């Protein structure tokens, strides 16, 4: 007899690839190109390729673990089950703090594209509005997701076509002093633009022939996303040059303006705001739910585990996340938020890859090189990020580890 609680296996390869594209093609590309260009200069495309390879390893490791542990929690669960309670906690803590910084980055992206002269107040207002929507139980529907993805792809197509065919007289290169560390730093910053690929790793119960379909869908979705990003990056470099791109707070709007089509800048700004708002909505939902799970396990204050009796949402967790994000956008800039977010999320996937390396052949482990390269890449790239991101990331993760040790000591 079929399990009445099981999800239906209705998704084929094409559907899975579309979901993967919908998870990845978003606001990250509107924000991450500028700080990555400042780090890598003309080597930006190499850094983009390395970020895509790292994302592939992480997504593949996560997919194999998700097939074995098809429950909510992601690496919070995988680390706990494969490596021990502390590693699961560390992954969950890294996810919460990293994705909270991602929320701040998305809010600041809204501000920089919607009203550059008043980016911070706009960002704070966006956080307040979206937190209010989430509090009332509003969900982003599948139809809305597809509409946002379609709109973003159209905007990126406009940027690419305008930049490739337009005026390139304003392009200026950064001084030729970029080394391997700059490329690795840019890889970590561009890794931010691939955020969302883990959605594919959680589809095991909804996909037909998941062992064959999910790995293929991951590869195809990442390859298509990488191709879109590469075309946009080439157009931006040709139009603004690495120097102009590095200095732009709203780089893709500046591309169409410098290419000779300033009338298209409002279209790009609307697309960026739409993409960032959709990402911010999904991120706050995800962070608040992970906060809820950790609060239930008393890794975070138990008061955050409350669920609203009318709206059925973790209202205290959502308000807490919204308040923290609002403080971050009021005091930190976009590049700092991206750097910190990338560091914490890379630590999260470091744990995922180490967990995947413990899988056996009967547990359908990935090819040995995937989790090894993924773990090594996450560690190296995380430590290559801007020093401020590394120091602050280590400090926050260290504070979380100390808090865990204190709670364990009290319970012991």
Is 6 within a domain?
A: no
Q: What whole-number distance in Å separates Cα of residue 127 and Cα of residue 325?
A: 7
What pLDDT score was predicted for residue 187?
A: 97
At residue 4 the predicted structure's pLDDT band, cuts being 50, 70 and 90, is: very low
pLDDT digits (tens, 9 = 90+) for 362-381: 998 899 999 999 999 999 99
List the single range of 272-281, 326-335, 353-362 with lowest mean pLDDT. 272-281
Question: Token pair for residue 162?
Answer: 């305008």
At 211, which CATH number?
A: 1.20.1740.10
Residues in the chain: 412
Question: Token pair for residue 370?
Answer: 């995937």
Is 8 within a domain?
A: no
What pLDDT score was predicted for residue 46?
A: 95
Is 124 within a domain?
A: yes
Q: What whole-number distance in Å separates Cα of residue 184 and Cα of residue 40?
A: 8
What pLDDT score was predicted for residue 373?
A: 98
Is 7 within a domain?
A: no
Helix crossing, 44-68 with 369-383: angle to 10°? 130
| Residue 71 vs residues 10, 115, 204, 322, 371: alpha-carbon distances, Å | 19, 41, 10, 26, 21
Instruction: Report the pLDDT averaged over residues 220-245.
Output: 93
Is 3 within a domain?
A: no
pLDDT digits (tens, 9 = 90+) for 94-136: 999 999 999 999 999 999 999 999 999 999 999 999 998 877 7
Highest mean pLDDT among 69-73, 145-149, 363-367, 385-389: 385-389
What pLDDT score was predicted for residue 143?
A: 60
Is 157 within a domain?
A: yes
| Total domain count, the chain | 1
Q: What whole-number distance in Å separates Cα of residue 11 and Cα of residue 5?
A: 17
Mean per-residue pLDDT over the chain, rounded? 88
List of residues 6+ apart from 308 with CB closer than 8 A: 135, 137, 314, 315
Burial code (b: 16+ CB inside 10 Å, e: under 16) for 34-71 equals bbbbbbbbebbeebbebbbbbbbbbbbbbbbbbbbbee
Burial code (b: 16+ CB inside 10 Å, e: under 16) for 241-257 equals bbbbbbebbbbbbbbbb
pLDDT digits (tens, 9 = 90+) for 238-261: 999 999 999 999 999 999 999 999
Question: Residues of the chain with pLDDT > 70: what percent?
Answer: 92
Question: Residues of the chain with pLDDT > 90: what percent?
Answer: 61
pLDDT digits (tens, 9 = 90+) for 336-348: 999 999 999 999 9
Domain that holds residue 158: 13-407
What pLDDT score was predicted for residue 204?
A: 63
Is 256 within a domain?
A: yes
**Inter-residue contact 206 to 8 (CB < 8 Å):** yes
List the single range of 18-22, 174-178, 295-299, 338-342 with lowest mean pLDDT. 174-178
Is the per-residue pLDDT at 1 higher than 50?
A: no
| Residue 113 vs residues 246, 266, 274, 283, 326: alpha-carbon distances, Å | 16, 9, 10, 19, 18
Instruction: Report the pLDDT averaged over residues 316-323.
Output: 93
Is 275 within a domain?
A: yes
What pLDDT score was predicted for residue 7?
A: 52
């Amino acid at each position: 007899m079929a399990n009445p609680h099981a999800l239906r296996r209705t998704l084929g390869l094409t559907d899975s690839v579309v979901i993967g594209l919908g998870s990845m093609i978003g606001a990250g590309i509107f924000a991450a190109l500028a700080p990555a260009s400042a780090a890598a200069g003309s080597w930006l495309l190499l850094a983009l390729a390395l970020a895509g390879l790292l994302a592939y390893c992480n997504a593949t490791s996560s997919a194999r673990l998700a097939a074995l542990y098809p429950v909510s929690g992601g690496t919070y669960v995988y680390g706990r089950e494969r490596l021990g309670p502390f590693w699961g906690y560390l992954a969950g803590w890294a996810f919460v703090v990293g994705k909270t910084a991602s929320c701040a980055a998305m809010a600041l992206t809204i501000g920089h594209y919607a009203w550059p002269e008043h980016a911070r107040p706009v960002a704070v207002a966006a956080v307040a509005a979206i937190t209010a929507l989430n509090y009332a139980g509003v969900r982003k529907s599948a139809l809305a997701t597809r509409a946002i993805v379609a709109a973003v792809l159209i905007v990126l197509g406009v940027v690419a076509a305008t930049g490739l065919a337009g005026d390139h007289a304003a392009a200026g290169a950064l001084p030729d002093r970029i080394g391997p560390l700059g490329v690795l730093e840019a890889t970590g910053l561009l890794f931010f633009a691939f955020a969302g690929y883990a959605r594919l790793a959680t589809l095991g119960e909804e996909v037909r022939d998941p062992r064959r379909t999910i790995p293929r869908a991951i590869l195809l979705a990442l390859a298509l996303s990488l191709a879109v990003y590469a075309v946009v990056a080439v157009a931006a470099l040709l139009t603004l040059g690495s120097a102009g791109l590095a200095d732009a707070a709203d780089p893709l709007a500046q591309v169409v303006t410098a290419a000779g089509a300033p009338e298209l800048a409002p279209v790009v700004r609307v697309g960026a705001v739409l993409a960032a708002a959709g990402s911010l909505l999904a991120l706050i939902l995800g962070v608040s739910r992970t906060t809820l799970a950790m609060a239930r396990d008393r890794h975070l204050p138990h008061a955050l585990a409350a669920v609203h009796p009318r709206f059925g949402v973790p209202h205290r967790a959502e308000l807490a996340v919204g308040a923290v994000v609002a403080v971050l956008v009021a005091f930190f800039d976009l590049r700092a938020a991206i750097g910190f977010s990338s560091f914490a999320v890379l630590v999260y996937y470091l744990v995922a890859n180490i967990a995947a390396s413990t899988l056996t052949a009967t547990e359908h482990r990935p090819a040995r090189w995937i989790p090894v390269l993924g773990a090594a890449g996450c560690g190296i790239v995380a430590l290559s990020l801007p020093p401020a991101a590394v120091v602050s990331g280590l400090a926050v993760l260290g504070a979380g580890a100390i808090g865990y040790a204190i709670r364990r000591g009290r319970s012991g």
